[in-house]
Amino acid sequence: MHKESGHTALDEMRSQWRLMTVYERFEQVVALVLSAVIAVIIVVSLFQLIAIVFTLLVLDAFNPLDHKVFQSVFGMIMTLLIAMEFKHSIVRVALRRDSIIQVKTVILIGLIALARKFVILDAEASPGKIAALAGATLALGATYWLLRERDDRAAKTSEHDPSSSQ
């Protein structure tokens, strides 16, 4: 019989707990507490988003073509997506799939945050502000691309090098 995936992960965490140093256990507890706190924030934010959208629909004020309403609703949705991605990266650490928060994940969260900023950007934003946001997006995108290329090369090297699999 197969165990459920949640039970398998929990059993794996229990077996690894005995092998961890005191500091690794501390990191594990911190990651689990952070994950729980972010989960609560996500749930509360989701209920607030639902309440706001419901109120807008009931009052017939929800007009997706209205720029301000669009900015507000989609800004809230993207904020939730950022929080969920952040929580996902912490859960990977808690489940010991990654030893530390991965730089690529942090860069992706930054790119999502910049995309959110572009969505909620006021139409009268200064050209300097837009240029600064575009420059930050370009820098993060290039950094992500370089990290991905490095990881792809490392994966190809390990596939073709029989000594690296030993």
Q: Domain extents for the chain?
A: 19-156
Model pLDDT for residues 116-156, shown as the tens digit of each residue: 998 888 878 899 999 999 999 999 999 999 988 888 888 88
**pLDDT score for 101:** 60
* Residue-wise burial string across 58-85, b where 16 or more C-beta atoms lie within 10 A, e elsewhere: eeeebeeeeeeeeeebeebbbbebbbbe
Q: How far is CA 114 from CA 1, 76, 130, 158, in A?
A: 46, 14, 11, 34
**Stretch 52-69: mean pLDDT:** 76
**pLDDT score for 96:** 64
